[in-house]
Amino acid sequence: MITAYHMIASGNIDIPIDITQDFSTGINMPEMEQTAKFKYFNAHSNGLKWYSGKHEYIIYEEGRHIHGIMTPDFKKVVVIYPYDHPVFNSPGNAVIYNEDKSIYMIPPLPSPTSSKNIKSNNAFEGLYIGGVVWVRDKNGGMGMALNLIYNREYAEKRLFNYLTGEIGDCIDTFRL
């Protein structure tokens, strides 16, 4: 089980995240100074690390913005690589890792489902996964969603089953 999670960045930035919080409302960093937040979000490289038992696992590459979050059961980490990553490039730029950093799965990327994105002339160009979040279902249960980006302009937030890799219903659309 994952027992600690950190957001890391170039310049020796290491931000421990309170894993007891409700991540469906975003990652809350109230205890951080504005200066530290600014440095993290403006760093030229970002990554993450987690602890499972006595082991530390790091995903970080100089010059790359890599982000992700652990799954609600604290047994896996969903990592989003840049769409142009040399190994995990779009459409396979999301990788689900087991808690020991072994690859569990690379989920297949589906086509857009929202009528807004289907009608766009360029919706199917530049298709990649832009982010991963926790979401609550209508019964209050915790799940996950992926932000699918089309042509670097349109996005769909789609339900995501991290155990099967299934990318499900569209729950939100927005323009970047």
pLDDT in tens, 13-64: 898 888 988 888 777 665 666 777 788 888 989 999 999 999 999 999 999 9
Residue 46: predicted pLDDT = 95
Task: Please give the pLDDT value at position 150.
Answer: 82
Cβ distance 135 to 147 under 8 Å? Answer: no
* Domain range for 18: 2-175
pLDDT at 32: 64
**Residues in the chain with pLDDT values less than 50:** 117, 123
As a whole number of angstroms, the distance between CA 125 and CA 173 comes to 17
Burial 65-75 (b: 16+ CB within 10 A, else e): ebbbbbbbeee
Residue for token pair 């020991």:
100
Number of domains observed in the structure of the chain: 1
Contact 91, 127 (CB under 8 A): yes
